[in-house]
Amino acid sequence: MPAELLDGVAVARTIRDEVARDVLVQKARGVIPGLAVVLVGEDAASSVYVRNKGRACEEAGMHSVTIRMPVTTTQGELLAVVDQLNADPAIHGMLVQMPLPVQCNADEVIRRIDPAKDVDGFHPINAGKLIIGEKDGFAPCTPAGVMELLRRYEVKTAGADVVIIGRSNIVGKPMASLLIQPGIDATVTICHSRTRDLITHTRRADILIAAIGRAKFVTADMVKPGATVIDVGINRVDEPRAKNGYVLAGDVDFTTVSEVAGKITPVPGGVGPLTIAMLLRSTLVAASRVVVA
């Protein structure tokens, strides 16, 4: 029997509706949640993503600011914009879209963002809070979205063996930190390029999370029958017959794995839509912490 689809579009829509409702609560007390996004250069994928973020903010009734800077922007110029946004009381959440041009140091930029406005959850202070289980920080939006998907589809995590393929600061590491927190209680293994005999790990996973950026890497023989498979990857695969010359594929070979897994996320339409939804929620949370005189 084919696996049950975990519909990220539907869950994201529900979260965005919840955010829009709670934005009205903030407005009633005189606070309009504001999100600023800084885009440096003309990366096509980043431009589309930033545009979608702006549209989502407006639909939720939030204040949205997009700052576009040329690819020649210096580190000093970018840090000056970050400082301005840190000081702007109308901005409660902010992020600098990655990747940055080579002359800009991403780590320094991330550290310059006020942790209270770091709704992307990449500042070391927020990363540290996530690890030790403090609730007043922000988790990266993609792992937070995965957690929402698991919760709303009632996927059991307590005592579950979870295997994460990928150890990035964006997904793999924070995903593991979220899953081991009290109340979630999963047992987590992180696999990566140096992992020996990867299939021995993935075949025992009750929940398998793929986040490595390699199209259709996870095949049916790597998956435990009945497992929940979360595909975080999104890759362009050449397809001459497609309108744009390519199709989108995840890190999981969906066609074969969906015949083995119990639950699975599609690509597109799985984890992706949840990232923006969780960004809006984090911005709302940041705004809710503002003290109104």
SS3 labels along the chain: CCCEECCHHHHHHHHHHHHHHHHHHHHHCCCCCEEEEEEECCCHHHHHHHHHHHHHHHHCCCEEEEEEECCCCCHHHHHHHHHHHHHCCCCCEEEECCCCCCCCCHHHHHHHCCHHHECCCCCHHHHHHHHHCCCCCCCCHHHHHHHHHHHHCCCCCCCCEEEEECCCCCCHHHHHHHHCCCCCCCEEEEECCCCCCHHHHHCCCCEEEECCCCCCCECHHHCCCCCEEEECCCEEEECCCCCCCEEEECCECHHHHCCCCCEECCCCCCCHHHHHHHHHHHHHHHHHCCCCC
Strand partners, 34: 63
Q: Is 53 a catalytic residue?
A: yes
Do 284 and 15 contact (CB within 8 A), yes or no? Answer: no
Given 22, 97, 251, 253, which residue is catalytic? 97
Active-site residue among 22, 26, 53, 231? Answer: 53
Catalytic-role residue among 118, 120, 206, 253: 120
Task: State the Cα–Cα distance between residues 19 and 26, nearest whole angstrom.
Answer: 10
Cβ of 230: how many Cβ atoms within 10 Å?
A: 29
Active site residue 129: no
Residues designated as active site? 53, 97, 120
